[in-house]
Amino acid sequence: MDNPTEINSVYWDEETKSWKYKMIKVDEYHGFIQCQYCHQPISHNVKTNDEFIVYVKCRCSRI
Ligand SMILES: [Zn+2]
């Protein structure tokens, strides 16, 4: 798999009580952590301006 240059990260928004998405531009990619259930990525280790771990939704967390 090629290293992604952008990741559609997900985060919990307290104000709206819902999941929100945000595109993160990846400067350096250092791999991912996979879900122990569906073996899809649940977080990516990256180096960007201000973030180092970005979370994504795996197959078993669809809402
Ligand atoms: Zn999963």
Query: pLDDT higher for 14 or 62?
Result: 14
Phi, psi (degrees; rounded to nearest 5) at 34: -105, 150
Q: Which two tokens stand for residue 16?
A: 């709206």
Domains of the chain by residue range:
6-61
Report residues near ion ligand 1: CB below 5 Å.
35, 37-38, 58, 60
pLDDT of amino acid 48: 82
pLDDT of amino acid 22: 92
pLDDT one-digit tens code per residue, 10-59 = 999 999 999 999 999 999 999 999 999 999 999 999 998 777 999 999 98
Q: Does the pLDDT of residue 63 top 70, yes or no?
A: no
**10 CA to centre of ligand 1 in angstroms:** 14
28 near 41, Cβ under 8 Å? no
46 near 53, Cβ under 8 Å? yes
pLDDT of amino acid 62: 58
Measured CA to CA, the distance from residue 1 to residue 3 in angstroms comes to 6
Q: Does the pLDDT of residue 2 top 90, yes or no?
A: no
